[in-house]
Amino acid sequence: MFLDKIAKKLLKAGLFDIEVGFENGSVVLRGELDSWEDIVNAGRLAVDTKNSRGVINDIKLKGFEEPPMKMPLLNDDKYEGKKVDVLVIGGGIVGCSILRELSKWNLTSLLVDKEYDVAVNQSSRNDGEIHPGIDLSPDCIKVKYNCRGNRMYPKLSEELGFTLKRTGQYVLYTKPIGSLVWPIIKARAKKNEIAIENVSQKELKKRQPNVSDEIHGATYYPNVYVVSPYEVTIAFAENAVTNGAEIALSTAVIGMEHKDGKIYSVKTNRGTIYPEVVVNAAGVYSDRIAEMAGDRFFTIHPRKGEEMILDKKASALMDTVMGRFDISSSASHTKGGGILITADNNLLLGPNAVETPLREDLSTTPEGIDMVIKKQQTLMPRISKGSIITYFAGVRASTYEEQFVIERSKKVDNFVQAAGIQSPGITAAPAIAEDITKYCIEAIGKNISKNEKFNPIRKPIPKVRELSTEERDKLIKENPDYGVIICRCEEISKGEIIDALNSPLKVPTIDGIKRRVRAGMGRCQGGFCSPQIVKIIADHEGISIDQVAKKQQGSEILVAKNKGE
């Protein structure tokens, strides 16, 4: 009955020859269409959360073949035959926070990720806002995890030593609708106990003088924070490793073997692993992993977002988070994003939202960047294109339901999913991790005791630039390397770089260092310091300088000796 309705909706939208079926409790769409936009539209029209678990959208794009997943060059048997209680697939913030949560229990856990580091995709390609949880329909699972996660962050920041800035957030009115929407927002906020404040145009101008005169006031959310999302992910990962968990980087899952309705083994480029329980935290590939595991009932339709970072001088304009009130923003597919002061004190603009069939397309476009900057200039006219120091893109792992998939599989006994996580994934991750860990322990089915030796504290690498002169002096007297500045723009010392090379999850590459200590993230974008960092890595690791890579294997910086010697 409801399938007929969906079929009718598709026809009405002009999407012909689409077969609508029902498998694994989900609506299945098959056929072929000419445009990706139409395919995404079909997937959206097929959503019926009352009658189905989700949408499996297998409509093919005419003339398009999805490129194979980008694989690491590495091939060895390091993990061949490895037995673990829990195998986590995916080293984003979700996977890493799960791993840390698992390390609170007496069980063995291993996280695999195909990239050269954790937090390489979505988890490093977002603005790092810890959301209030308001711009979503108040009853959905996203809001539940968002609000829980938001409240967990202050304690996590203390334990794991990452920067958490309480910035608050202004949602700005571009039209004089403040008094109209206030009661609705108030009611939503009350339901989830979110602190809010109505800010008049005059008051807003007083607090944020650089906001455009065209803005008619704002709603203010005091309990909004910003973090560096990759710093947080790395912190989770390091603390997990310190507490006995294992992380295998450059390790891609390429298949699974089943026995008795359960996953028996997981094949990787580095050997076959035998886990008791498998956790799917694979981001844009999470529907593929679900398919391998035998319980696919959702589809990831990748949604790219482009963001840009401004020179620190522009940070004088504001020190908070700003977005635009959009009546239709109850769904999470935002367009154009907002302006935010990052944990490291740069202004960040964006992201936009572009549907794409390419899961790993991290390229930026002039149109995207221009669109974002123009949109933000309407909120803050003094923002200029000239102060952009860098930009990047990320791909969101959106499902057609625009909801998180967080559950122990109803079909495959030892499979747990934290899939389809997109914004507000950073906020929600620690709360998701608690539930996923609970599901894992249930799935193991044995009595698992608490890890009494679990140490929640992670000692972060000192940020010398943020210390007082006295503290900094003391630190240098203990280790003179903290006094040798390598990255001049961000004031990063050799000591910090060497700390990163000695950290529990070391990634001895230029970008591995950059993501841990910020060397190369300033206005010169590593022009001055990268040659020095190549030397420091080579010296510390005992390798020759031409073996030092930017990211993964295959991205070595130096390609030949002079004169081809």
Partner 1 sequence: MEMVCIACPNGCRLNIEKNEDGTLLVTGNKCPKGIVFANEEILAPKRSVCTTVRTTYKKLPVVPVRTDGEIPKEKIFDFVEETKKIVLDRPYAFQESVIENLFGLGINVVCSVDMNRLVGE
Partner 2 sequence: MYDVVVIGGGPSGLAAAVEAKKEGASVLIIEREAMLGGILKQCIHDGFGLIRFGKKLSGPEYAELYIKEVKDLEIETRLQTFVTSIKKSQEGFEIIVTSSKGMSTIVAKTIILSTGCRERTARQVFIHGTRPVGVYTAGTAQNFVNHMGYLPVKKCVILGSGDIGLIMARRLTLEGAKVLGVYEIKCTPSGLTRNIHQCLKDFDIPLYLSYTVTRVFGEPRLTGIEVAEVDQFMRVKPGTEKYIECDGLILSVGLIPENELAETIGVKIDPKTKGPEVNEKMMTSVEGVFSCGNALHVHDLVDYVSEGSATAGKNAAKYVGTKENEANVSSEGMLSLVPQRITEGEHEIIFYFRTLCDRKKATLTITVNGNEENKIVKKYTNLLPPEMERVKLKLNVKGGDKVHFKLEGE
Active site residues: 131
How far is it, in rounded angstroms, from Cα 515 to Cα 497?
Answer: 11
**Shorter beta-carbon distance to partner 2: residue 221 or 391:** 391
Kindly tell me which residue out of 65, 452, 478, 565 binds partner 1, with binding defined by CB under 8 A.
565
By CB under 8 A, tell whether 377 contacts partner 2. Answer: no
Strands of the sheet with 165-166, listed across from one edge: 129-130, 225-226, 165-166
Between vectors from CA 469 to CA 463 and to CA 471, what angle results, nearest 5°?
A: 60
By CB under 8 A, tell whether 481 contacts partner 2. Answer: yes
Range 434-439, long-range pairs (CB < 8 A, 24+ positions): 434/101, 435/406, 436/98, 436/101, 436/279, 436/281, 436/406, 437/98, 437/101, 437/102, 437/104, 437/105, 439/407, 439/408
Stretch of 121-129, 167-175, 444-452, 480-488 lying at the interface with partner 2 (CB under 8 A): 480-488
Partners of 355 in the beta sheet? 303
Report in angstroms how near the CB of residue 545 gets to partner 1 at its nearest: 9
**Shorter beta-carbon distance to partner 2: residue 8 or 488:** 488
Stretch of 43-51, 236-244, 323-331, 550-558 lying at the interface with partner 2 (CB under 8 A): 550-558
Q: Binding partner of residue 232 among partner 2, partner 1, none, CB under 5 to 8 Å per kind?
A: none
Report in angstroms how near the CB of residue 377 gets to partner 2 at its nearest: 16
Cβ proximity of 29 and 58 under 8 Å: yes
- Letters for 336-375 (x = contact with partner 2 by CB under 8 A, - = none) are --------------------------xxxxx--x------
Query: How would you classify the pairing of strands 109-112 and 246-248?
Result: parallel
Say which DSSP state 245 is in: -
Site for partner 1 in 505-564 (CB under 8 A): 562-563
How far is it, in rounded angstroms, from Cα 195 to Cα 222?
Answer: 6
- Letters for 460-489 (x = contact with partner 1 by CB under 8 A, - = none) are ------------------------------
Say which DSSP state 92 is in: S
Stretch of 6-14, 47-55, 412-420, 461-469 lying at the interface with partner 2 (CB under 8 A): 461-469
Give the interface size with partner 1 as a residue count (CB under 8 A): 3
By CB under 8 A, tell whether 480 contacts partner 2. Answer: yes
Nearest to 394, CA basis, from 348, 349, 359, 432: 359
Report in angstroms how near the CB of residue 113 gets to partner 2 at its nearest: 16
Residue type, 60: K
Cβ proximity of 237 and 115 under 8 Å: no
Tokens for 325?
Answer: 């009130």
Report in angstroms how near the CB of residue 563 gets to partner 2 at its nearest: 5
Site for partner 2 in 285-314 (CB under 8 A): 313
Stretch of 53-61, 170-178, 262-270, 546-554 lying at the interface with partner 2 (CB under 8 A): 546-554
The residues that touch partner 1, with contacts defined as CB under 8 A, are: 562-563, 565
